[in-house]
Amino acid sequence: MRVAMIGTGYVGLVSGACFADFGHDVTCVDKDAAKVETLQSGGIPIYEPGLDLLVQRNVREGRLHFTQDLTDAVREADAVFIAVGTPSRRGDGFADLSFVYAAAKEIAEVMNGYTVVVTKSTVPVGTGDEVERIIRETRPDADFAVVSNPEFLREGAAIDDFKRPDRVVVGTDDERARNVMHELYRPLFLNETPIVFTSRRTSELIKYAANAFLALKITFINEMADLCESVGANVQEVARGVGLDNRIGSKFLNAGPGYGGSCFPKDTLALVRTAQDFKSPVRLVETVVDVNDKRKRAMADKVIAACDGDVSGKTIAVLGLTFKPNTDDMREAPSLEIIPALQEAGAVIKAFDPAGTVEAEHMFSGVEFTSGPYFCVEGADAVVIITEWNEFRALDLERLKASMNAPVLVDLRNIYVPDEMQAAGFKYTSIGRP
Indicate the domain borders of the chain.
Answer: 2-198, 208-289, 295-429
CATH annotation of 208-289: 1.10.1040.10
Is 263 a catalytic site residue?
yes
Query: 2-198 belongs to which homologous superfamily?
Result: NAD(P)-binding Rossmann-like Domain (3.40.50.720)
**How much is the pLDDT for 191?**
83
Is 2-198's fold the same as 295-429's? yes
> How would you write the pLDDT of the chain (434 residues) with one tens digit per residue?
999 999 999 999 999 999 999 999 999 999 999 999 999 998 999 999 999 999 999 999 999 999 999 999 999 999 999 999 999 887 777 889 999 999 999 999 999 999 999 999 999 999 999 999 999 999 999 999 999 999 999 999 999 999 999 999 999 999 999 999 999 999 998 888 999 999 999 999 999 999 999 999 999 999 999 999 999 999 999 999 999 999 999 999 999 999 999 899 999 999 999 999 999 999 999 999 999 999 999 999 999 999 999 999 999 999 999 999 999 999 999 999 999 999 999 999 999 999 999 999 999 999 999 999 999 999 999 999 999 999 999 999 999 999 999 999 999 999 999 999 999 999 999 999 98
Note the Cα 298 to chain centre separation in Å.
22
Angle at 185 between CA 195 and CA 208, to 5 degrees: 50
Question: Please, which contacts does 304-313 make with residues 24 or more away whose CB atoms are closer than 8 Å?
Answer: 304/342, 304/345, 305/429, 306/382, 306/408, 306/410, 306/427, 306/429, 307/381, 307/382, 307/408, 310/346, 311/342, 311/345, 311/346, 311/347, 311/381, 311/382, 312/345, 312/346, 312/347, 313/346, 313/347, 313/348
Query: 295-429 belongs to which homologous superfamily?
Result: NAD(P)-binding Rossmann-like Domain (3.40.50.720)
Note the Cα 115 to chain centre separation in Å.
30
Note the Cα 151 to chain centre separation in Å.
11
How far is residue 94's CA from residue 98's CA, in Å, rounded to a whole number? 12
Taking the complete model, does pTM exceed 0.75, yes or no?
yes
Selecting among 18, 28, 228, 263, the annotated active-site residue is 263
Q: Find the Cα–Cα–Cα–Cα dihedral 6, 25, 188, 15, rounded to 10°.
A: -30
User: What DSSP character marks residue 157?
Assistant: S
**How much is the pLDDT for 67?**
97
